[in-house]
Amino acid sequence: MPDGSMSFRLTILGTSSALPTSDRYPTAHVLNVHERLFLIDCGEGTQMQMRRYRIRFGKINHIFISHLHGDHFFGLYPLLSSFNLMGRKTPLHLYAPAPVEDLVSRHLSDFDIHLGFGLEIHTLGSRDCTLILNDKRVEVFSFPLRHRIPSCGFLFREKRAERNIIPGMIGKHGLTIAEIALLKRGNDIVREDGEVVSFETVTVPPPEPVSYAFCSDTAWFKELPEYVRGVDLLYHEATFGDDNEELAVKTAHSTARHAATVARDAGAKKLLIGHFSARYKSVDILEKEAREVFSATEAAREGTAYIIG
Ligand SMILES: [Zn+2]
Ligand SMILES: [Zn+2]
């Protein structure tokens, strides 16, 4: 399955809302960015789903938790224990709203767990859009959602790669390593004898960077599309259908139609909905209602990998 061309790949591990069903686990997503894995939310059973769908534990160094409701968090404690039992040494970064640090340290002390690896906890504010991780390949932002407790969405934006040298051009022009580096960054080379090597003739542009946004849990609010403008794949919770719109508003959740409105207003390329209430045995109706507003909608399926871009 792994393929070098699939730079952004999302695997859905859970599509249920707070009450799991016999065939739906609570929320957890794994985003693969150039073979580095980011775990987003960690509902009960996440590590079992990771094993089922062959997610490599050792490649996860960053976990993002949207909010501290159990269906997004209960899977974290057993996952930390398993990392420990597996002899993990690599530091793990955990991003979540307050009071995550208190909860985790209390749990570790209550159960006498001594982690053999560093756990770096980054407490998220929930007021503004904030850059929370910036590495070579990707930038991650958190942004505020509207829920009953502080809740954050996450935006993963691939960085633009350098240009690629056209095969055969290195030999043809006798390019040095220093010249290649300049050309890949879009600079022309002027040699001592006056010869010009134009970057446009020996390189091609890299693929367009891709992006993924995660919005769960949240009520609909008008500023949300701005945070996820132009995203390639938008995941948005759709706990309810039109039949339960009042309940959605009351519990600070969204309907499928709300989710589709956000995708449409943000100019997203594709929408994935999830966090389905247990009352919907089949989620076809939710998919249908969303498609009435935004046709490029799909109901998330557990174990399915979605290629982004
Ligand atoms: Zn939830
Ligand atoms: Zn919630």
pLDDT in tens, 73-110: 999 999 999 999 999 999 999 999 999 999 999 999 99
CB 290 within 8 A of CB 297: yes
Residues around ligand 1, an ion, CB closer than 5 A: 71, 217
Predicted local distance difference test score (pLDDT) of residue 4 = 40
Q: What whole-number distance in Å separates Cα of residue 299 and Cα of residue 56? A: 25
114 alpha carbon – ligand 2 mean position (Å): 29
Residues identified as active-site: 71
Distance (Å, rounded) from C-alpha 59 to C-alpha 225? 31
Which of the ligands is closest to the CA of residue 17? 1
CA of 218 to the centre of ligand 1 (A): 9
pLDDT in tens, 102-133: 999 999 999 999 999 999 999 998 678 999 99
Q: Which residues surround ligand 2, an ion (CB under 5 A)?
A: 69, 217
> 3-state DSSP call for residue 11?
strand
252 alpha carbon, closest ligand = 2
pTM value? 0.92
Compute, in angstroms, the gap from residue 150 CA to the centroid of ligand 1.
12
Residue 126 is predicted with a pLDDT of 67
Q: H-type helices in the chain, by residue range?
A: 46-52, 76-85, 100-110, 169-173, 177-184, 199-202, 224-227, 245-250, 256-266, 284-291
Average pLDDT over residues 135-152: 96
How many angstroms separate the alpha carbon of residue 95 from the centre of ligand 2? 16
**Shortest CA distance to 33 belongs to which of 63, 7, 62?**
7
CA of 110 to the centre of ligand 2 (A): 25
Identify any residues that bridge with 152 across adjacent strands, giving them in sequence order.
Answer: 144
Please, what are the domains in the chain?
8-161+207-307 (3.60.15.10), 164-204 (no CATH)
Ligand nearest to the CA of 219: 2
State the chain's maximal CA–CA distance in angstroms: 75
List Cβ neighbours of 301 (8 Å cut-off, separation of 6 or more): 12, 15
